[in-house]
Structure 1
Amino acid sequence: MTAAWWVLPVAYALDRLLGDPRWLPHPVIGMGKAIQRVEAAIRRLVKPRAYRAAGLLLPLIVAGGSFVLTLAALHLLAGISPWLAAACEALLIWTTIAAKGLRDAGMEVCGHLRRGDLPAARRSLGMIVGRDTERLEPPEVARGAVETVAENIVDAVVSPLFFALLGGAPLAMAYRAVNTLDSMVGYKNDKYIHLGWASARLDDIVNYIPARLTALLLISASWCLRWNAAGAWRAVRRDASSHPSPNSGYPEAAVAGALGIRLGGENGYHGVKSFRAYMGEKSRELEPDDIPRTAKLMFVVSGAFVLIATGLWIWMAGGMHWI
């Protein structure tokens, strides 16, 4: 658990207020550089036929190293002052959350769509998705933004908070390292099919429980907002497992059902068409306002999780401990 009951609420509040300031050095940048160096060392020292076994080294070194370094730093700070260690832990957990950044990226796309600037909306969407965006029509641009925000409610918000609750900043940082590994080497292409398999599989494993917890929270949030909670429940039960990802279908299906829209369909990746299973039912065309609606669901879910997690911390700690 975190060092003090207030660490998670403070970390979440910092993200809501400040997001990811450019002036603040971000641990993910260091993780990215570490991944590049470890990968380069493996390719230099290991023969290609041993890449599959060597792929285990990437999460072991990068995620394990993130955990150990964070734990050691907090231990040293605790020797100086428990308050200093707790404050540093809140700052570190803050860097693993990206709710505000996710919302801002989605709202940039929404703003362009509302103004009728389709080329700018396509460019903004292209900054946050891997699919081809150059020829997308407004409903498809909106779909891309909604899907990205919905999917990343797990990766960028609930999962880091979940692991922070279980193991404080060290486990949250290890999770962020796993997620960064997946985004950099977790591809089923010729370059990473063997070297990146362990990173991709580990990312699926660590997000398994948070993804399903997020779906339940999204259904509850849609009920609290008096949106279509029954539709969200039906979509999760019927459609979530059809997604190519073992986890992404749960938040996407829940959001689709809650908003009464249909996600999924045909996407293009470097000119190659790929069909994603449909999530939800198409009761209407997607519109720009579906992007802030999805962000609203994200904030209700994340705020609820922080309240629940704080209550669990106090309960597991056996009472109110201020430090």
Structure 2
Amino acid sequence: MMTSFLFSVFDLLASTSGMLVAALLLDRLVGEPKKWHPLVVFGRWVDICRRGLQLSLTDTTTRQRQAGAVAWCCAIFPLLFGLVILMFILPDWLTALLSIIVLYFSIGWQSLREHALAIVEPLIRGDLLQARHGVSRIVSRDTNQLDETQVAKASIESVLENGSDAVFAPIFWFLVLGVPGALLYRLANTLDAMWGYKTDTLLHFGWFAARFDDVMNYIPARLVVLTYGLCGQFGSAWRCYQEQSSSWKSPNAGPVMAAGAGALGIKLGGAAPYFGKLESRSELGEGRDPVATDLNKAIRLVDKGVYLWVLVVCLMM
């Protein structure tokens, strides 16, 4: 009887829904490793690939883009192939365990929640300095002079966008391509974060990394639009998505943030300071300006979305 029970548990954990639930529980209970993370090692490997293959800025745009594409392949494919080979040669129970661990490292649900809570708690008690410090860890804009509304806006924008990038997109690619799909997405998203900046040195070299990340996020972002709508004010979310998405510079962040803002009944976007300059941005959402407690609502919106996805996966698989 005990053996039968253990086999039943293994079959459950080895299923798609079982691995997803196990990885999400592990992420929620343990969170992101504080001292050691595989992506840190990956980052060092990425730097080696970049130093070895990046061309001079005097080379043509085409050649720099080609070098970036080759470097991208060198950074990702060996790890991806290694995972696939391990999954073929390991016994079933180790393959299931490896799959759960890889999926756990690919999802950043609890990390997103922790970063957001590190902002909302000081913001609610009026500690704007500490709240600004928390925001500076998750956004690229200047945070030293942000007021309470700007801090709330920046934080909510990051939660909504990263909810798509760090939580829902890796789950989507896991459901489509299995654990290799989740790993491919996480590594590609990390490379975009490292190489996808429009600086002199990365403008052309990082072009492939940025475009590949856009492609991988396209469908998940549209599913997140629907998710945020179903978990919030659907009519407002859908209206904002349809009317405002095209005005945003990012093809995936725009739809996600517009729908999220609409679902929450608040306004996001607008002018924001970046690298010493005030950058004009379109407004997203509708309603009032956000306050500190709206950040808590944004966290709950992502949480509800995760529960909804898990429920759908469990019913379908």
Q: Contact 1:232–1:253 (CA<8 Å) still a contact in 2?
A: yes
Give the structure, 1 or 2, with the largest relative contact order (CA under 8 Å, sep 6 or more).
Answer: 1
> Which deviates further from its counterpart, 37-46 or 60-69?
37-46
1:76-103 Cα distance to aligned partner (Å, 9 max, x none): 32xxx21121011101100010111101
Which residue pairs with 2:284 in the alignment? 279
Greater than 6 Å deviation, 4+ residue runs: 44-47
Does residue 60 (structure 1) correspond to residue 60 (structure 2)? The answer is: no
Which residue pairs with 1:300 in the alignment? 304
TM-score normalised by the chain length of structure 2: 0.91
Which of 6, 9, 22 matches 2:34?
22
Superposition map of 1:59-208 within 5 A: 59-77=72-90, 81-208=91-218
CA distance 1:38–1:63, shift in 2 (3 Å): same
Which residue pairs with 2:53 in the alignment? 42
CA distance 1:311–1:57, shift in 2 (3 Å): farther
Aligned length: 302
Q: Contact 1:151–1:252 (CA<8 Å) still a contact in 2?
A: yes
CA distance 1:45–1:255, shift in 2 (3 Å): closer
Which residue pairs with 2:43 in the alignment? 32
State the secondary structure of the residue aligned to 1:132.
Answer: coil
TM-score normalised by the chain length of structure 1: 0.89
Which residue pairs with 1:232 in the alignment? 237
> Which deviates further from its counterpart, 195-204 or 163-172?
163-172
Q: Contact 1:122–1:136 (CA<8 Å) still a contact in 2?
A: yes
In the alignment, the residues of structure 2 paired with residue 271 and residue 124 of structure 1 have an alpha-carbon distance, to the nearest angstrom, of 19
State the secondary structure of the residue aligned to 1:154.
Answer: helix
Which residue pairs with 1:246 in the alignment? 251
The amino acid across from 2:34 in the alignment is R
Q: Which runs of 5+ in 2 are unaligned?
A: 1-12
Give how far 1:270 is off: 1.4
State the secondary structure of the residue aligned to 1:190.
Answer: coil
The amino acid across from 2:267 in the alignment is R
State the secondary structure of the residue aligned to 2:282.
Answer: strand
State the secondary structure of the residue aligned to 1:273.
Answer: strand
Q: Contact 1:123–1:133 (CA<8 Å) still a contact in 2?
A: yes
Q: Contact 2:237–2:258 (CA<8 Å) still a contact in 1?
A: yes
Q: CA RMSD in A?
A: 1.7
Q: Which runs of 5+ in 1 are unaligned?
A: 223-227, 315-323
CA distance 1:45–1:241, shift in 2 (3 Å): closer
1:216-241 Cα distance to aligned partner (Å, 9 max, x none): 0111111xxxxx22111111111122
Q: Contact 2:54–2:205 (CA<8 Å) still a contact in 1?
A: no
In the alignment, the residues of structure 2 paired with residue 108 and residue 45 of structure 1 have an alpha-carbon distance, to the nearest angstrom, of 41
In the alignment, the residues of structure 1 paired with residue 42 and residue 283 of structure 2 have an alpha-carbon distance, to the nearest angstrom, of 34
